[in-house]
Amino acid sequence: MRYAFLLDMDKCIGCRGCAMACKNYYNLEPEMVWRQVYPLADSIYPHSGRAFLSLSCNHCDNPVCVTACPTASYSKRPDGIVTHNMETCIGCQNCVRSCPYGAPRYNRVLGKAQKCGMCWERLDAGLLPACVLGCVTGALQIINLENFAETGTVQYPAGYPVMKKISPSTRFILPKMPQLTGVKQ
Amino acid sequence: MRPFYSEPHVFIHPAAATEKGISDGDSIRVFNDIGEVTVRAKLSNNVARDMVVMYEAWFPYLSYNVQNVVDDCRSDMGAMKTGAPGAAILDQFVDIQKVG
């Protein structure tokens, strides 16, 4: 098993349901988010404001947070999930500065870093992550990279940092431009 | 919702905005006989040239409420369906003006 997120950008409507479900489930402080939704720039997707990147932790193959943390608070599970241990975190923010995807965020109230753990406690119990459940269009899914057919998906969509050594596990289906049907063009 | 939608917007077609001397991010007064709201302009070709769009939502610490420009006229079938007249929330005519 190698857990990863799959985002079908053709289905995503940018409702922030995934991010809000995450925030609700973990009772995050008002300013704190573990998942955020970013509209694509017009230069990337010309149908203005109609395509989005919903991003949290990418649970990378070679996570920099694991190597950057001085207290070994991060670990990569055999099933691919990168977890963070709040008990041993000293709030130095090395992970916040190192992650090119901005996944770990500093919680000012607790004085510690936090990030998405792909709801590992839910996955272990046979449940889906909160964000996946919160997605109304089915755009956000969990896949197993070990038997996932990558055809038609990309690892680095435009607007998403290319980090080959780190190799993020998230996969994307690119958005298509809408077509007018029944209209002669 | 604050981390996801920090403030309300009024979506305006770029051509309509140019006519009114409005640029993206300007503070805009949206008004009609009912009332007015002040929101930031977001230029977008997703709306028609003669339309503006504002979302209904709640924003803490802001006086914004889209209902301030909505005329609550009585619905025609409300009494039959629910026993009370009810309000028909329809599109509204509004004008826009750059603030300051």
What mean pLDDT, rounded, does chain B reach?
90
Does the beta-carbon distance from A30 to B5 stay under 8 Å?
Answer: no
The answer to whether residue A51 scores a pLDDT higher than 90 is: yes
Locate B10 and state its tokens.
Answer: 């009024």
Please tell me the distance from the alpha carbon of residue B100 to that of residue B47, in angstroms, as a whole number. Answer: 25
The answer to whether residue B6 scores a pLDDT higher than 80 is: yes
Residue B7's closest CA among B52, B70, B69, B58? B58
Question: Residue B88: what pLDDT?
Answer: 82
Q: CB of A92 within 8 Å of any CB in chain B?
A: no
Chain A positions touching B1 (Cβ under 8 A) are 16, 20
pLDDT tier, A180 (very low <50, low <70, confident <90, very high otherwise): confident
Question: Residue A185: what pLDDT?
Answer: 55
The answer to whether residue A80 scores a pLDDT higher than 90 is: yes
Please tell me the distance from the alpha carbon of residue A113 to that of residue A91, in angstroms, as a whole number. Answer: 6
What mean pLDDT, rounded, does chain A reach?
95
Locate A80 and state its tokens.
Answer: 């691919």
Please tell me the distance from the alpha carbon of residue B19 to that of residue B40, in angstroms, as a whole number. Answer: 17
The sign of the dihedral angle between the CA atoms of A17, A21, A79, A67 is: positive
Nearest chain A residue to B42, by CA: A49
Question: Residue A82: what pLDDT?
Answer: 98
b/e map B29-53, b = 16+ CB within 10 Å: bbbeeeeebbbebbbbeebeeeebe
Instruction: List, for residues B37-78, the tens digit of each pLDDT value.
Output: 999 999 998 899 999 999 888 788 888 999 899 988 888 888
% pLDDT > 90, chain A: 91
Torsion angles phi and psi, residue A158, rounded to 5: -60, 140
Which of residues A86 and B84 earns the better pLDDT score? A86
pLDDT tier, A184 (very low <50, low <70, confident <90, very high otherwise): low
Instruction: List, for residues A55-77, the tens digit of each pLDDT value.
Output: 999 999 999 999 999 999 999 99
Please tell me the distance from the alpha carbon of residue B77 to that of residue B83, in angstroms, as a whole number. Answer: 9
Chain A positions touching B46 (Cβ under 8 A) are 47-50
Does the beta-carbon distance from B1 to A32 stay under 8 Å?
Answer: no
Distances (CA, A) of A49 to A181, B13, B17, B47, B96: 21, 13, 17, 11, 22
Averaged over A172-182, what is the pLDDT? 88
Please tell me the distance from the alpha carbon of residue B13 to that of residue A16, in angstroms, as a whole number. Answer: 24
Residue B22's closest CA among B65, B46, B48, B52? B52
Locate A184 and state its tokens.
Answer: 């002669």
Nearest chain B residue to A14, by CA: B4
The answer to whether residue A164 scores a pLDDT higher than 80 is: yes
Please tell me the distance from the alpha carbon of residue A5 to that of residue A56, in angstroms, as a whole number. Answer: 9
Neighbours of A169 (CB within 10 A): 23
> Do the interacting molecules here have an ipTM over 0.85?
no
Instruction: List, for residues A144-158, the tens digit of each pLDDT value.
Output: 999 999 999 999 999
| Cα distance from N-terminal residue to C-terminal residue, chain A | 48
